[in-house]
């Protein structure tokens, strides 16, 4: 699945692929809601998404790694 503009922005601001960033936190046991809040905080509010979006991005990142 191609990256969206918002994913590219997040990756740029995080200085790492947003999918990897999400996978790391989800595998550590954090909820999608917490990850969404953390993403907004980590990007200075420039990337704000719902928990459902985090879930979709995590699934896409997981598929890319298999």
One digit per residue, pLDDT tens: the chain, 66 residues? Answer: 688 999 999 999 999 999 999 999 999 999 999 999 999 999 999 999 999 999 999 999 989 887
Q: How far apart are the first and last CA of the chain?
A: 13
pTM of the shown model: 0.92
Q: Look at residue 1 in the predicted model and tell me its pLDDT.
A: 65
> Distance between alpha carbon 64 and the CA centroid of its chain, in Å?
14
Predicted local distance difference test score (pLDDT) of residue 2: 84
CA–CA dist 59, 48 (Å, integer) = 18
């Amino acid at each position: 699945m191609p990256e969206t503009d918002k994913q590219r922005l997040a990756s740029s601001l995080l200085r790492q692929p947003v999918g990897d960033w999400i996978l790391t936190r989800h595998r550590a046991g954090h909820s999608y809601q917490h990850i969404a809040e953390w993403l907004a905080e980590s990007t200075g509010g420039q990337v704000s998404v719902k928990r459902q979006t985090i879930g979709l991005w995590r699934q896409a990142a997981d598929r890319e790694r298999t």
